[in-house]
Structure 1
């Protein structure tokens, strides 16, 4: 099959470093009239159109976008695929919300037809919102993961997912056992991990729903295969933290439960971390673990405000998560709108360039995939978006008043949503067109 080479011309912006470490100016590259060259699903060149155009063959196809911005594809580091059907469920905090809405909704995913239907809706919704990579919770049923990976494989998406492990403190219809969760996870790893652009994540739901035996086996899986991910929840809600103390009185705290069962590491991502202390942030950073910051769901479930400056102080990797269905939008633009408010309420600032970093390169670093996704450096996978400055009448009018790329970016993150995403590309292929 001949390699397909194509160029895309527009304003182009990507993160190249964390603004908290290098300062804002050194954290990004912006080309007002830029050119992105894609060859065989990878980025082969990036730069100013005036410099790159003379180097290209005369017959290369060039797609030219007016009033648009090309960015890397967004990376969602925490989302629940089986909760798609209950997003926007009214009026509960975390533990009641799980029992009232989440568990009944997740019970349906043993059925292949249902899992396939929701996987199709879920993947289309991600791409419509410009999310090209996600770290995804399945349900307790292996079928949920098979359906999701089948849908992702058809489009050659880079996706990470795992079957939930949950052997206590949940309805009988939704629990596995320590042994069955190990065997079923192993079978899914053998089938999917490393196939195309797919990766597997060992997924104990959270400490209260796993016995010590199950957590031990989750840790064992991580030693049996290379480059596996581990995803779970931590310190989201104050009642949840108290519950963990009751269930594991012998441990120092919530993080220590996971640490004891050898679940911290370079591909371990802990969702929320709203109520972490300094020592826990230091330990996460020391082990190379990451946090997924989920502002929309933290507001929606009344969980609290994530302390991003504390995470930055410890050089802890942080990505962004929509946390659908606790979060109410698949849009990482909308999620950044909420993240800005979380910082404002704590008297802190969130610059648009730090926001861009969290949604792209920060997420890639949290997932240890920064050599493949999260930026537009030559050699990276060609996962990128075209954001339309004229997506809505208000956005169009507002952006005409913007004086620089910082202001433009901030307006996109406060007024933008799925309508702003004109096109989504994954591995160089057009996978969504508005």
Structure 2
């Protein structure tokens, strides 16, 4: 056979080729003896190539190292393509990672005559691989320990990744959610469905690469939780959406606290009734409305009789309970369209702003007086508190909300003074 490239022989060409490749290249026969060694392999053993030829691997590597590689070389001699990686020691004592490929050599009838071996130094690659592995381990640790749920969705919004914190927040295990969509799980509350659809569509269609949203979600056991979602779209090199990575924070406690603050701003914490601020806003709105319609509104100002005696003799806990029961009785006496508020202390106000006829305030006032005719109960003790009422009409008795409230207050004190 004519050798290529002007080489004197095919052997010279092969030697030049393997030397240029730079790998640790050899040919080992069926008896386990090296019949060819590249220059790089000879340098590895710090011996001339001729000194390596004809020697067994056990002689070259020593018994300990040979015992480690023998399972792979045996597989190659059995006719199997083999790939493995191992850490080897150079003659100078430094360690290096090798990526080794063994390819069986057969005759025309398929009999294995030996194998070709090529080992490449991949130390830098392995260091990078190890660093990447450590980074991934650290990331996995962070994902497991973060208070945020980590959820990865496929391009068609099926679950691909479901972190331990996602299990903790929503209740479903990873096995229960993989491959399933939010609709399959009932994950999104009905009130948040449209918001979630709109924002995920922005990501899916490439109009946004990341967004955030606040939504109500269902848990496996049927509870409703508020979650703040931080979403990022991931694309391939061609710009196609591959997945969406979401971080979800359970903000139910925060939302509940904010709702409590909102309620505290407009509601009385003891009775749950609207407070003075809420009454003022409702009264202003009612006055604006009747100014346009020509209707009438009425205020009933209610003050509990003998309430100070309850506090002085039975204590403030008893007084608080009487106020709660009084609020419930007043609310039961008015119509659904009417408003009851607690101004503070033992003072309540009823706002009548719908279908107020001349006799409406009197009818409701008598109901309230009758309701206060029965004693209140404090741990089995009867507590008696009456109610003094004052009525003021708009626009008959006042032209603004402050004057209307003052007029009702004065009317109440006239009744209280009259006994």
Specify if TM > 0.5.
no
TM-score normalised by the chain length of structure 2: 0.15
Q: With a CA cutoff of 8 Å and minimum separation of 6, indicate the structure with the bigger relative contact order.
A: 1
Q: TM-score, normalised by structure 1?
A: 0.15
